[in-house]
């Protein structure tokens, strides 16, 4: 991924050798904090973003927010496809780690919830600028955010992305779906696609092979349940079904053995935990294999 040279209106930039370049991290953090003051629906903290020697962090309700990135590889070749942003949260008073989902229970209003959701995604985009292997970035967007915001989906985040030198085309928005889709979700997904974002969906326990309303959302990627690694035949059938619809399958693995199992089942994208080896090539299962298991 190459950093874009495009800037939003009124965004400061630096000149190097006659070419426009993005500002240093400290200046970018200052710009985002100034921009945040105009949008902030609450006053828990003055400036959420802070530049550190290792990157950027955000502060919210006496909690320190940071980013990490889980690599995603293409199963067939082992080449790097991109990274999934993972939120890290730590209590500032006791230095204790917190579950990221718990952070989203704190907002006291819909406006604050939307602001927090955008804050986290902006933090991930900001830190991805410093990643040595930039490719495609997966960031989560909370379904409640989509239900709250009436329209204009993706515009505010797009402005933040451009400030960080990224484009919507570099981003896959990942949404966990818990109920049957309504018109609001359909409209939001269409709006995101029109702006260039890709869509990844997950739904715990869903049968993607037969659930037509989920398939009707037309995601680019589906994240399959990790537990399916214990059911290789079912995993293979799901991966093949999704491929029939032009949808890429993704699953997260914890070790090399699980990665090989996923590849053999025909999963297209493998997300691995930090510190595990990249998946090596293994023969994918075909429809003939599925019909005639060993």
Whether residue 79 lies inside any domain: the answer is yes
Location of structure tokens 């579950």: 99
- The CA–CA distances, whole Å, from 24 to 33, 35, 55, 138, 180 equal 14, 17, 11, 24, 44
Which of helix, strand or coil describes residue 251?
strand
Specify the CATH number for the domain of residue 248. Answer: 3.20.20.450
Per-residue confidence (pLDDT) for residue 39, from 0 to 100: 65
Whether residue 35 lies inside any domain: the answer is no
Q: What stretches in the chain show pLDDT beneath 50?
A: 1-21, 43, 283, 288-294
**First vs last Cα of the chain: how many Å apart?**
42
DSSP 11-24: ---EEETTEEEPPP
Residues 6+ positions from 2 with CB-CB distance below 8 Å: none
Per-residue confidence (pLDDT) for residue 36, from 0 to 100: 73
Per-residue confidence (pLDDT) for residue 5, from 0 to 100: 30
Rounded to two decimals, the pTM is 0.84
Pairing assessment for the beta strands 63-74 and 221-223 based on DSSP bridges: unpaired
Which residue segment(s) compose the domain that 199 sits in? 68-87+113-291
**How far apart, in whole angstroms, are the C-alpha atoms of residue 100 and residue 116?**
12
Per-residue confidence (pLDDT) for residue 34, from 0 to 100: 84
The DSSP element (H or E) to which 36 belongs, if any, is helix 25-39
Pairing assessment for the beta strands 19-21 and 171-176 based on DSSP bridges: unpaired
Over residues 236-293, the pLDDT tens digits come to 999 999 999 999 999 999 999 999 999 999 999 999 876 555 565 554 555 544 443 3
Whether residue 228 lies inside any domain: the answer is yes
Whether residue 259 lies inside any domain: the answer is yes
Per-residue confidence (pLDDT) for residue 37, from 0 to 100: 74
Distance of alpha carbon 276 from its chain centroid, rounded?
20
Whether residue 191 lies inside any domain: the answer is yes
Whether residue 241 lies inside any domain: the answer is yes
Per-residue confidence (pLDDT) for residue 285, from 0 to 100: 52
Per-residue confidence (pLDDT) for residue 79, from 0 to 100: 94
Whether residue 156 lies inside any domain: the answer is yes
* Phi, psi (degrees; rounded to nearest 5) at 85: -70, 135
| Strand ranges inside the chain, DSSP E | 14-16, 19-21, 49-52, 55-60, 63-74, 80-91, 97-98, 136-140, 171-176, 198-202, 221-223, 248-253, 269-272
Q: How many domains does the chain contain in total? A: 1
Whether residue 248 lies inside any domain: the answer is yes
- The CA–CA distances, whole Å, from 224 to 39, 97, 216 equal 36, 27, 17
**How far apart, in whole angstroms, are the C-alpha atoms of residue 173 and residue 194?**
13
Per-residue confidence (pLDDT) for residue 16, from 0 to 100: 30
**How far apart, in whole angstroms, are the C-alpha atoms of residue 88 and residue 4?**
27
**How far apart, in whole angstroms, are the C-alpha atoms of residue 249 and residue 221?**
6
């Amino acid at each position: 991924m190459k950093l874009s040279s495009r800037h939003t209106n009124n965004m400061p930039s630096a000149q190097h050798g006659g070419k426009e370049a993005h500002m240093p991290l400290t200046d970018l953090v200052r710009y985002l904090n100034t921009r945040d003051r105009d949008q902030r629906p609450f006053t828990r903290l003055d400036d959420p973003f802070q530049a550190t020697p290792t990157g950027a962090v955000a502060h919210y309700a006496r909690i320190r927010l940071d980013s990490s990135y889980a690599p995603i590889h293409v199963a067939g070749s082992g080449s790097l496809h991109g990274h999934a942003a993972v939120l890290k949260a730590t209590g500032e008073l006791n230095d204790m780690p917190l579950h990221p989902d718990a952070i989203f229970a704190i907002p006291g209003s819909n406006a604050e919830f939307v602001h927090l959701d955008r804050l986290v995604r902006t933090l991930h985009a900001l830190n991805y600028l410093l990643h040595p292997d930039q490719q495609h970035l997966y960031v989560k967007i909370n379904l409640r955010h989509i239900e709250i915001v009436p329209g204009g989906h993706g515009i505010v985040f797009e402005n933040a992305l451009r400030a960080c030198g990224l484009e919507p085309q570099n981003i896959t928005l990942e949404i966990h779906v818990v109920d049957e889709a309504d018109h609001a979700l359909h409209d939001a997904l269409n709006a995101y696609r029109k702006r260039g974002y890709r869509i990844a969906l997950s739904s715990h326990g869903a049968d993607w092979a037969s659930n037509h309303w989920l398939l009707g959302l037309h995601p680019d990627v589906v994240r399959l349940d990790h537990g399916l690694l214990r059911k290789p035949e079912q995993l293979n059938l799901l991966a093949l079904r999704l491929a029939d619809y032009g949808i890429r399958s993704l699953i997260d693995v914890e070790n090399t053995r699980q990665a090989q199992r996923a590849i053999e089942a025909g999963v297209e994208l493998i997300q691995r935990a930090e510190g595990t080896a990249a998946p090596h090539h293994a023969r994918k299962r075909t429809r003939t294999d599925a019909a005639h298991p060993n």
